[in-house]
Structure formats: structure tokens, C-alpha cells
Chains A and B, each alone.
Chain A
Amino acid sequence: MPAVSKGDGMRGLAVFISDIRNCKSKEAEIKRINKELANIRSKFKGDKALDGYSKKKYVCKLLFIFLLGHDIDFGHMEAVNLLSSNRYTEKQIGYLFISVLVNSNSELIRLINNGIKNDLASRNPTFMNLALHCIANVGSREMAEAFTADIPKILVAGDTMDSVKQSAALCLLRLNRTSPDLVPMGEWTSRVVHLLNDQHLGVVTAATSLITTLAQKNPEEFKTSVSLAVSRLSRIVTSASTDLQDYTYYFVPAPWLSVKLLRLLQCYPPPEEGAVRGRLTECLETILNKAQEPPKSKKVQHSNAKNAVLFEAISLIIHHDSEPNLLVRACNQLGQFLQHRETNLRYLALESMCTLASSEFSHEAVKTHIETVINALKTERDVSVRQRAVDLLYAMCDRSNAQQIVAEMLNYLETADYSIREEIVLKVAILAEKYAVDYTWYVDTILNLIRIAGDYVSEEVWYRVIQIVINRDDVQGYSAKTVFEALQAPACHENLVKVGGYILGEFGNLIAGDPRSSPLIQFNLLHSKFHLCSVPTRALLLSTYIKFVNLFPEIKATIQDVLRSDSQLRNADVELQQRAVEYLRLSCIASTDILATVLEEMPPFPERESSILTKLKKKKGPGKVPDMEETKKERNSDMNGSTEPVSVNSSAVTMSTPSTSTDLLGLGLAPVLNSVAPASAGGSLLVDVFSDNSPAVASLAHTAEENFSSPRIGSADVVSDDPAAAVHDADELVNKFVCKNNGVLFENQLMQIGLKSEFRQNLGRMYIFYGNKTSTQFLSFSTAVICQDALKTQLNIQTKQVDPAVDGGAQVQQILNIECVSDFMEAPILNIQFRYGGALQNMSVKLPVTLNKFFQPTEMTSQDFFQRWKQLSIPQQEVQKIFKAKHPMDTEVTKAKIIGFGVALLDMVDPNPSNFTGAGVIHTKNIQVGCLLRLEPNTQAQMYRLTLRTSRETVSQRLCELLSEQF
């Protein structure tokens, strides 16, 4: 076998490396390096032409210095020169330098490509391989452009050496990943697929990766690979352990190739053709059988290789989900692994069983292992194994075992690692809700959660328990009693105070008959916690108190005393102070009737996907949470009825996670005034205007719910005599309409303004509906649209005056004709004046006329897109923004928003399927501006990066501003 002595070939290099290793300090190392850099620089600059060997040696030293973590700013040219050497060792160092230090220097790229081109054409397999490896390692677009035509030819040519074919296949794979638009397969498809039949297993190994990647993108075109893969696999698994010689690894025939073939088959459903299907089933059975045979070697390599194939086979069986016999066998096999002495196998068995649990055929079989899994939870040393056990318990949970599993999880929670507590809390909360037979158990479980792991109970969890209690009147009395008892504990978690405060505020009356929980006792109990709580919780408790004023008039005076105390009325926190002032005032001046209306019990929440589930999905990333709703295929049709999370349309999903606002009662300053609306006729005022069920309309019926996310829209300062102060400069209003054209623009206790608009080219028409929510006529009603400053010349807006009298409960309509003259930044302002009950009302809102409304979508091919993208490469043309996601990152919602923004959503343009690309043209009277955009979500960091390129800086900027507010 070959022997390599230390640093043979390049003595100078070995000496240099030794010197560096002998350096006693960082300073000494840097000194030595600087000396060497000076030496190399002088050699490169010297008059004497360096021979190939010296050049190689110096380039290699530079590379070593770079790998130590120092910057290298020269030597690139010498490295490129090495490519044209005829000696392998010199070429290799040249290519290595380029692969490691790839640089954006475009002049060099041209030279590098030239060197590669020569080597590809050299017919010397060693040189061809070096060149192909370089392309595969660098994979830049320039390289793709230069070589996509050559590489497929090399791959399928009859006279290409096997090792070159291997490299060519993977090189093509790399280019296909980085620049899919440049790699047209078509004509090569069938010859590439037939590489699966190649005699050389190394070629098959490389080709299988290529085919798998291509098949994922284009399954139809590569369908023929299925039967070839099955027959190849069949030949491998039935071969004797010595048949494949070089490719047998510790008595296992071609384990990596088998795994790859099984992966390829997972791109497809079970084969349709009976013979192929039968052969595949045989293969899978053989693999399962071999797992039961005594091992041919005691070495861990043997069992690992064998089990690698076994686990991949099980993945395929689960993927097909069609052979009950195989699924159950797979489950039994994994069951054996659950108690294996190897931690790796226990871990993998737990992980794999998790997916088996979601198949209707194997769900029951998985459940039989519950005791082993619970035991793993208690005894495993590796936290990641325990984590898998939690996942599996969650996946195998159904009605029959929910109580046991939830109890075990709660048990484990007491000692669980901090890193996984929050996730367990979410899981317990979801299971408790989903499989609650009676809701008293559910309420007990959640309160237990708060008791055991209060710090890890996120807002979503306690919001949810409140939603459920509000929606189910059979559990309200029990909940009130239970939280009341839980609050008796001398030290209870703040989350409990929140839940307790909320529930008693709504349903405290249900237990007030019991002298042990009389109104005053309830109030004193809550108030005893007040001073230990944070500001948001105190704010919530103040809302509870005002609700008590309504529920229990007998303790009104006590509560007023508390509200009146200096610590409330003069609290340093504005929110608390404001609540105290307003609640006190409300309790003093409002009649019983008004109090009863304003402080009415919360209306039921709309049924929607549990926000906890959303949170869990977010935590684990898409695809990692087995979605029981979808995958269990209605098997559990007897599961509980009304609170089952229902599937929701995408627009609702964006609202389903309450924001950080804790104003749950909807009783903050604005909501107090606002909450009159749903009770009165206001809610139905505009419903006829909109055919679509947009969230804005839906929210009318649930003002309280709306307050989760935007407690301050339409706040009290709306009605004011000072027009400047009254402008709803809140760009939120404008932002709300960037991606849609219809909805409620504004609402307060007097009126509601609805919008409906349409835009074509540079023209638009907007219908504004003014609804009088009161029973009194508005007099001297007049409106004006104001374009300030530059906007005057950029937008033309024409309209007719509306009727000066608006009857109580009536609605009037106004039409605006809008022309966009040139691109613009600001929004026009709509000013409204009228007399109501003798007082002059004056208010202003921004009209959501935004630049993107004048988009015309443009469809284009990926080639066109990239060409144009490149053309817009001056720095001023590009605007980029990286920002945090404000809403759950849902692909479909994002798509809808981009389309709503006005551009065409371009599929298949971005090499990365998670990204979004769009194109459109802004039409103004004076100019048209083409616009390209790209949005890159990063679900892990919950961030987006938005890039816009247009030919006008101002347009890029404005569009970026507008769109980045939408996610």
C-alpha cells in the first residue's frame, strides 16, 4: 500500500509548517508568517521566472497560511498559472488554491475557466477529474454558463473513464443546484437514467445522487428510474456477501448505494407495475429478514451498515404507507431496537417510530410500546434520546392513552431539562385539548402545567385555555372554582394570576353564591397578588376589577377605593394610570345598563387552529411535527367535536397568534369605547359591501379578538377639533391595505369608513363608504382629499362632494378617480368634517393609495429574470432590507401577499424553492418602471430578507418600505 512520508515533495513547506508549530506564542507565529509572506512576495515579484515547483511550493504555503486564519491578498495569479502546468502535482495545488480561496475577481474567473476548459478537453482522465472537482467545489454561475454544455456530454460519452463519469455526474448535480435554469436536461435524461445499469458501482453511486436530485424537481421526466432502481437494489440485496467485492463493507453489500437507491424510490409512490412492485416488496422483505439473521461480524461497522439500509428501507415503507404487513414488521423491528444496548439504535428507533405512529396501519402496533417509551423518558442519559421519546409519546397519543401520556409528560416535566421544557408544555397543552373527554380534566391539566412549569407556559398556552373556557359554558363554573382554589396557594405563578384574573372577571359570579368565594373574597384574593405582579398582569387585573363592578355591584365602592388610591391614579406607568383613571370614571358615570353593555361577557372566539399548534410547528420547523390532523386520516372520527381545531383559510392563520398585547379583556381605553360596536348595529353596517370575507370585516364581529393584535386602532383621540392632531398618521392603516383593496379603513364609535378600490395601469377608482353608526343624523357632512407638497404633482385625484346630511344608521358612498402621474412616496389624506349632536367633528385618515397599486404583473422566464436582474446592478437600483417576521411564516399567505402586492409570482426562478421572486411594471403617466423582487424567508431565525431592483432609486425604496411591513 502507498506510503506517504511527512511533507514529501515539498521540503520547504514541511519546514515552514514545523516552524509554525514550534512557535511559542501567537505573536511569534504572526512574525514567522509575516516573514514568509514577505519572502513569497519578493519571489513572485522578482525578475527571475519561478519554476513550476517553486511556484507550487509558495502557493501551497500561502494556502496553509490562509487555512491558519490569515488573510491572503496575493498569489491568485500564480495559482491560476499552475493550472496550465503539465504536472499533476502543480495543477492540483493550483486547483486547490482556487477551490479554497475562490474570489469574485471576474478577470481571474475568465482565466480559471480557460484552464478548466483546456483540462476538460485534454482527454487525460486525471486532469479532467481535477477540472470537474474544481467546478463541483466552486459551482459559480460563470462556471455553469461556461460548462453546462460540456459536462453532460462527458457524462454519457461511451469512451469516458468511470472515475471521470462519477465526477461529471456530481459536477452536474452541483450546477443543477446552483443554476438550475442553465442546465437543460431533456435530451440527456434517458441516458443519465440508464447509468443506474452501469457495471461500475461507483458510477451508479454518483449517478443515483444526480438522478434523485433531478427526480425531486421533475418526477415525471425521471419516472423510468423507478424500475431500474428496483432491479439494481434487488441485485444488491440478494447478492452473497462477497459478490460485490470492492463494494462490500464489513460483509454488507454496497450499503451506501442501497441507501441512495431507497432514497430515490422515496421520490415516487409505490410502483404501479405489478412485477416491479412485487420485486420491490421482495427486496424490502429481504432487508427485514436480514435484520433477524445472526450478525456476520461482531464489529459495529457491520451492524451500522446493515442498519443504515434497514432504516432507509423502513423510511420507504412508511413513505409508501400501503403495505400493512411491512409496516407492522417494521414496527416490530424498531420495537426490538428500543431496548438495544446501543444508544444510537434506541435513538433512531424512537425517531423512526414517530413517523410510523402516523400511519393508520401501524398506529396500533406502535402504541403497544408505550411502556418502553415511558421508561426511556425516565432512564435515558442522553437528553436528545429523551427528546425523541417525548416526540414519540406525542405522536402515539390518541383518546385511548391520552390521560396516561399526559400524566407521564407532566411527571417528566418536573425534572426535564430546561432546554425542552417549553416544548413539552406545548405538547401537553395540545394533547390535553385535543383528547379532552371532559373539559374539567383539560382545565386541571393546564393549571398543573402552570404550577409545574409556569415559566415555560407561553402566552399561546394561557390564551388558549381562556378561549376554550369562554367558548364552553359547561366548564365555566368549574374553571372559576378551580382557579379560585389554585389562587389560594401562598406562592403562585404569575401566569396563574393572569388566567385566574381573566376567568374570575368573566365567570366569578358563578361561584359567588358560595360564602367561601363571595365577591369580596374573590376580589381580596386577586388584589393580594396585585403588587407582586408585572405591569401587564396588573393591567389585566384592573380590567378584572372593572368587570367585577358590573358583576358585583355590592363591592363597587371597595373597587372604586382601590382605583382611586394614589398608587393607581398616579402610577408611574402610563398604561396602568390610564386604566385606573378611565375605569374609575366609567364606574362613576355610567348607568347600570351601560355598564352591563360595555362590560358584557366576552363573545365566543371564532374556532380556528390552536395557536399553540402553530407555535409548536414554528418551534420545530415545518415537517418536524407530525401533523395529526392531516396524517391520521380521519381514523379518530370519534374525537371530540366542537373545539377540535378546525382547518382555517390562510387569511385567518395570519391572525391566529395573538401579539404581545395582554389586553385580553378588550377593556383598554380604546376597546372600552369600541366594544359598543359589536353589540350595536355597527357590526352589520358594511357587511354588504364586501363579498370577500376579509379579516377586517370578520373582525367587526369580534372586536375583542381584534384587540389581541391591534388594541389601539381607532383610539379615543379620533374625535377632536384639532385636525393636525387627529390625522391617523398611523401608517398601519395604509399598510393594512398594501396587499388588498377592500376592507374597513377606519372605525370609531360614531362612524365606520369602508373601502373598495380597483386599479388598472396608471388609473384607479376608489369607492369610499361612510357609515353613520349612531341613531342621530350627521349634519354639514363634508370630505376633502388632500395631496400635500410634492404629492400634488404626482397624483391627480378627482371626486364629487357627498350629500351634507347622513341619516342615523345610513351609509353614503363617494367615488374617487385617481391618476398616477409619476412615482410618489406619501399617501393622500382624507379629511372629514360633520356636526354630531351640536359638536363639530373633524378627523383625518391616510388613504391607502400606494405606489404598488399601479403595478401590472409581468410573467417572465427564469432566464429573462436573471438577465434583467443583472442589468439592474447599480447599487442605487437595489434596495434590501432584512427584518423580523411579524406574522407566522406561512408560504401560502406569503404568496397571496406578494400577488396582492401586484407583481407576478414567478415559480421556479429561484434555485432555492423556499424563496419567492416576483416581477411587475409600475405604470405612471410619465414613466413605466420595471421591478424585480426577491424575498428570502428564514424560518429558523424568523427573519426575511427582501431585495428589490428597479431602474429608479425612489421606486425601489418606496416599494421595499411598503412590502417589508407586510410579513
Chain B
Amino acid sequence: MGTGWPPVLVQEMCFLPQKIRFILIQNRAGKTRLAKWYMQFDDDEKQKLIEEVHAVVTVRDAKHTNFVEFRNFKIIYRRYAGLYFCICVDVTDNNLAYLEAIHNFVEVLNEYFHNVCELDLVFNFYKVYTVVDEMFLAGEIRETSQTKVLKQLLMLQSLE
């Protein structure tokens, strides 16, 4: 890259001041349905993170918290049917705010895809990225109003 510095190693990711490091949607079997990275990782490192998150999250049950320490961060996650929605943030970040950000996101997906199911995410993967970018950008929460997001998505849909 010509950034001057060598590419970022996965173990360095703790040093950059940033909120969301990545968003992952996985099913119980560990298949990734969405991976949105807010830092640069090489492909092997991404794969490693995906596997680690899966291992950490799927062993927990409903009586556990929705938060789990992960390396130097924490994963805030919520399970919807067979899908785990996970957000990786700094340990000092507000757990409940991200927990509800997940739910807000899921409600938008549900509205947009009319009762969203796992297959919608598979066949429309390129649209899911658009939904994510409307609601989260640069590792920050961009827009929280479901009405506004859906209006924008509807408008984009009409351009097809």
C-alpha cells in the first residue's frame, strides 16, 4: 500500500482508537453471513477472528450475558433464531447501546426484507452491505432512525 507504514497486524488492532472493530453475522454452524471490517486485516487474520468469535459465542446460553470478553475487546452479541449478530467494540464502550444497535439493525433488515430469514442475507448479500453502511460507518453509529433508513433504502431500491 503506499501508506508508509507496513500493514496492520491483527494483534495491533487494540491500539487504534476506534469503536466498532467489526460486525459479524454467523449461523450456528459457523457460516458467515456478513462480515464487515472497520480495520484492515489480511485474509488469514479475518478467518481466525471469525472462528474465534464463533467459538466464544456459541458456547453461551440464554442465562449468560450478551457480552463476552474477546482478546482486548468485547463482543456484544444477540442471537436471532439460528443467527448470531456480533459487534466487536472497545472494553470501555457502552454495552447496552450496542446491544440495542444490533436489534435496531435487525428490525430494519426485517422490514426491508419482509420477515428476514437467513436466505435473504445469502441471496442479497450486496444489499445487506448497503443497509450496514446506512446505519454504521467508519466504526461509528451513523443513523438510528428506522424510518429514515428505510426511506433511504426504498429510494435506492427505486433506482434499480
Q: Do A and B bind each other?
A: yes
In angstroms, how far is the closest chain B Cβ from the Cβ of A857?
21
A23 is an interface residue with CB less than 8 A from chain B: no
Of chain B, the residue at the smallest CB distance from A4 is B113
Query: B94 within 8 Å of A by Cβ?
Result: yes
A780–B36 CA distance with the chains assembled, in angstroms: 76
Contact partner, B64, options A202, A381, A621, Cβ 8 Å: A381
Give complex CA distance A304, B104 in Å.
12
Measured between C-beta atoms, what is the minimum distance from A504 to chain B in Å? 42
B120 CB to nearest chain A CB (Å): 7
Whether A106 and B67, one on each chain, are in contact in the complex, defined by CB atoms closer than 8 angstroms, is no
Residues from chain B with Cβ under 8 Å of A311 in the complex = 94-96
Q: How far is the CB of B2 from chain A (nearest CB, A)?
A: 6
A324 adjacent to chain B (CB < 8 Å): no
Decide: A940 and B152 in contact? CB cutoff 8 A.
no
Q: How far is the CA of A821 from the CA of B120 in the complex (A)?
A: 71
Q: How far, in angstroms, from A255 to B152 measured CA to CA in the complex? A: 21
**Interface segment, one of A61-69, A690-698, A824-832:** A61-69
Collect the chain B residues with CB atoms within 8 Å of residue A940's CB.
11, 14, 71-72
Min CB distance, A90 to chain B, in Å? Answer: 10
Tell yes or no: A399 within 8 A of B by CB. no
Tell me if B49 counts as interface (CB < 8 A to partner A). Answer: no
Within 8 A of B (CB), among A910-958: 911-915, 934, 936, 938-941, 943, 945, 947
1/0 contact string of B122-152 vs chain A (CB within 8 Å): 1111110110010001111111111110101
A382 x B63 contact (CB < 8 A): yes
Alpha-carbon distance between A347 and B152 when the two chains are bound, in angstroms: 37
Distance, CA A178 to CA B112, complexed state (A): 33
Given contacts A170-B138, A348-B96, contact A163 B145 (CB under 8 A): no
- A99 to B14 CA separation, bound complex (whole angstroms): 22
**B153 an interface residue at 8 Å Cβ cutoff?**
yes
What A residues does B35 contact at CB under 8 A? 67
User: Is B52 interfacial (CB 8 A cutoff)?
Assistant: no
Are B101 and A64 interface neighbours, CB within 8 A?
Answer: no
Shortest Cβ distance from residue A157 to the other chain B in the assembled complex, whole angstroms: 19
Q: A9-B160, A126-B156 are in contact. Are A140 and B148 (CB under 8 A)?
A: no
Contact string against A for B residues 34-62, beta-carbon threshold 8 Å, 1 for contact and 0 otherwise:
01000010000001000000000000100
Give A209's nearest chain B residue, CB to CB: B140
The interface size of chain B toward A, counting residues with CB under 8 Å, comes to 75
| A906 sits at the interface (CB 8 A) | no
A206 within 8 A of B: yes
Which B residues are in CB contact (< 8 Å) with A624?
91
B68 at the interface (CB under 8 A from A): yes
Contact B97 A255 (CB under 8 A): yes
Min CB gap B98→A, angstroms: 9
B157:A202 contact, CB within 8 angstroms: no
What's the Cα separation between A67 and B34 when bound, in Å? Answer: 9
- Complex CA gap A808/B99 in Å reads 76
**A141 contacts partner chain B, Cβ-Cβ < 8 Å:** yes
Which residue of chain A has the shortest Cβ distance to B16 in the bound complex?
Answer: A912
Contact A202-B6, Cβ < 8 Å, known A2-B154, A126-B156: no
Chain B CB within 8 A of A870 CB = yes
Restricting to A318-344, which residues have a CB under 8 Å from any CB of B?
343-344
Knowing A4-B157, A177-B18, A202-B145, say if A171 contacts B138 (CB, 8 Å): yes
How far does the Cβ of B30 sit from chain A's closest Cβ, in whole Å? Answer: 12
A92's nearest neighbour on chain B, judged by CB, is B130
A137–B39 Cα distance when bound, in Å, is: 9
Using A4-B120, A305-B100, A940-B11 as known contacts, say yes or no to A202 and B148 having CB atoms under 8 A apart: yes
Query: Quick one: which of B62-79 are within 8 Å of A by CB?
Result: 63-69, 71-72
B123 touches A136 (CB 8 A): no
A544 close to chain B: CB less than 8 A: no
User: Which residue on chain B has the smallest CB distance to residue A132?
Assistant: B137
Q: Are A249 and B100 in contact (CB under 8 A)?
A: yes
Q: Least Cβ distance of A259 to chain B in Å?
A: 5
B8, closest chain A residue (CB): A912
Nearest CB to that of A20 among chain B residues?
Answer: B122
Name which residue of chain A comes closest to B124, CB basis.
A4
Known contacts A142-B2, A202-B145, A202-B148, A133 near B133 by CB under 8 Å: yes
**Chain B residues within CB distance 8 Å of chain A:** 1-6, 9, 11-12, 14-19, 32, 35, 40, 47, 60, 63-69, 71-72, 91, 94-97, 99-101, 103-104, 111-114, 119-120, 122-127, 129-130, 133, 137-148, 150, 152-157, 159-160
Q: List 12 A-B contacts (CB under 8 A).
A: A7-B124, A17-B122, A89-B159, A177-B16, A205-B142, A301-B103, A304-B96, A381-B63, A880-B6, A936-B12, A940-B14, A947-B6
Additional A-B contact list (7), CB under 8 Å, known A137-B138, A141-B2:
A60-B126, A67-B35, A87-B159, A170-B140, A257-B144, A263-B94, A911-B16
